Structure 1
Amino acid sequence: MAVIPPKRRSERLNRRKFTLINKADELAEFCEVDIALIIRNRKTGRYFTYNSIDLESWPPSKEQIQLSYPTPVNLLPHDMKAKRKKPLKHHSGKDTNKGE
């Protein structure tokens, strides 16, 4: 794998961060959901946050989320990788990755 120059890596981070925040904003607006997004740069330790609503009570604490009902869905990177690896299915239930 080629080494990416620091300037290019920084530009990529900024572009992807903007895209993620923009998608979160669109999701909040079009789907009527509340969103709290936290991004932390591991190298610098700097945080970037986005809140779809400007309330002092938002976002809820981690404890408030865990105690909420219906129970929260908590996803980790391995959950997302597993979802991406599952074969796609047509409405007929046939696996599209096998040429059926």
Structure 2
Amino acid sequence: MKRFAPYKNIRKQATILGLPLSFFALQMISVVVSLLVIIFSFSLSAIVAVFLWNVALFAILSKLSKKSGLFHFQGVLPRYISNKKHSQLDYEEH
């Protein structure tokens, strides 16, 4: 019987099928739109084009998720947390 190990890097980034959640949501929206295109157009070329579109989108999103530094503009937390007064103005009355 095959044993599965729990995914312990959940704080790092949650992934589904190797994609971050936002990319996975984009992929699922593309799949739903593709299904609508297939339902309302009965041509073989549309089915092949939609399949190739989804494969290409998945490949592009996979490469973008590997290069995560592309969209990382600033950190979540400030670099230093301090109680030091940052301005010369004195708001307290003496």
TM-score by length of 2: 0.34
Q: Which has the higher strand share?
A: 1
Q: Which has the higher helix share?
A: 2
TM-score by length of 1: 0.32
* Bigger Rg over Cα: 2
